[in-house]
Structure 1
Amino acid sequence: MSDFHWTKLFNPEFYITMEINGIPIGIYMVLFIVFAETGLFAGFFLPGDSLLFLSGIYNRELVETFFIISSDLSNVIVLSLLIASAATLGNIFGYWFGSRSGNYLYSKEDSFFFKKKYLIQSQTFFEKHGGIAIVFARFLPIVRTFVPIIAGIVHMKKSKFMFYNVFSSLLWSFLLVFAGHYLYSLFLDQFNVDLKQHIETIILTLIAITTLPLVLNYFKQKKLLKNSEK
Structure 2
Amino acid sequence: MDYNQLAVNLLDAKALVASVGAIGILAIIFAETGLLVGFFFPGDSLLILAGVAASSAASSVLGEGAQLSIALLLIGAPVCAVAGAQLGHYFGAKVGPRMFDKPNSKIFRREYVVKAEEYFEKFGPAKAVVLARFIPIVRTFLNPVAGTLEMPARTFFVWNVVGGVLWTESMLLIGYFTGAQLAPVIDKYLIPAMALIILVSVSPIIVEVLRERKKKKAEAVESGEPVVGGRHRKG
> Is the 8 Å Cα contact of residues 102 and 150 (structure 1) preserved in structure 2?
yes
Please say if 1:167 is aligned against 2:157.
no
1:9 match: secondary structure: coil
> Is the 8 Å Cα contact of residues 118 and 142 (structure 1) preserved in structure 2?
no
Question: Aligned partners of 2:100, 2:209: CA distance in 1, in Å?
Answer: 20
Q: Hey, what does 1:8 align to over in structure 2?
A: 9
Question: Aligned partners of 1:211, 1:197: CA distance in 2, in Å?
Answer: 24
C-alpha RMSD of the superposition: 3.6
What is the aligned counterpart of 2:179 among 165, 172, 184?
184
What is the aligned counterpart of 1:156 among 151, 154, 158?
151
Question: Aligned partners of 1:33, 1:153: CA distance in 2, in Å?
Answer: 24
Q: Hey, what does 1:66 align to over in structure 2?
A: none
What is the aligned counterpart of 1:54 among 49, 59, 80?
49
> Is the 8 Å Cα contact of residues 77 and 174 (structure 1) preserved in structure 2?
no
TM-score (norm 1): 0.71
> Any unmatched runs of 5+ in structure 1?
19-24, 62-69
CA drift at 1:47: 1.0
CA drift at 1:82: 0.7
**Residue type at the aligned position of 1:87:** A
Aligned residue-pair number? 204
Q: Hey, what does 2:184 align to over in structure 1?
A: 194
1:141 match: secondary structure: coil
1:9-48 matched pairs, under 5 angstroms: 9-18=10-19, 25-48=20-43
CA drift at 1:57: 0.7
Q: Hey, what does 1:89 align to over in structure 2?
A: 83
> Is the 8 Å Cα contact of residues 38 and 144 (structure 1) preserved in structure 2?
yes
CA drift at 1:145: 1.0
> Is the 8 Å Cα contact of residues 50 and 206 (structure 1) preserved in structure 2?
no
**Residue type at the aligned position of 1:194:** P
CA drift at 1:153: 1.6
Over 3 Å counting, the alpha-carbon distance change for 1:156 and 1:207 in structure 2 is: closer
Question: Aligned partners of 1:183, 1:11: CA distance in 2, in Å?
Answer: 20
CA drift at 1:213: 7.3
Over 3 Å counting, the alpha-carbon distance change for 1:96 and 1:133 in structure 2 is: same
Q: Per-residue displacement from partner, 1:92-117 (whole Å, max 9, x unpaired)?
A: 10111011001123223343x55654
Question: Aligned partners of 1:96, 1:176: CA distance in 2, in Å?
Answer: 26
Over 3 Å counting, the alpha-carbon distance change for 1:169 and 1:12 in structure 2 is: same
Question: Aligned partners of 2:3, 2:96: CA distance in 1, in Å?
Answer: 41
Question: Aligned partners of 2:72, 2:6: CA distance in 1, in Å?
Answer: 32
Larger radius of gyration: 2
TM-score (norm 2): 0.70
> Any unmatched runs of 5+ in structure 2?
59-66, 217-225, 227-235
Q: Per-residue displacement from partner, 1:63-98 (whole Å, max 9, x unpaired)?
A: xxxxxxx9x9xx434312210000010011011101
Q: Hey, what does 1:79 align to over in structure 2?
A: 73
1:46 match: secondary structure: coil
Question: Aligned partners of 2:90, 2:31: CA distance in 1, in Å?
Answer: 14
Over 3 Å counting, the alpha-carbon distance change for 1:114 and 1:156 in structure 2 is: closer
Over 3 Å counting, the alpha-carbon distance change for 1:149 and 1:177 in structure 2 is: same
Residue identity (%): 28
What is the aligned counterpart of 1:101 among 75, 84, 95?
95
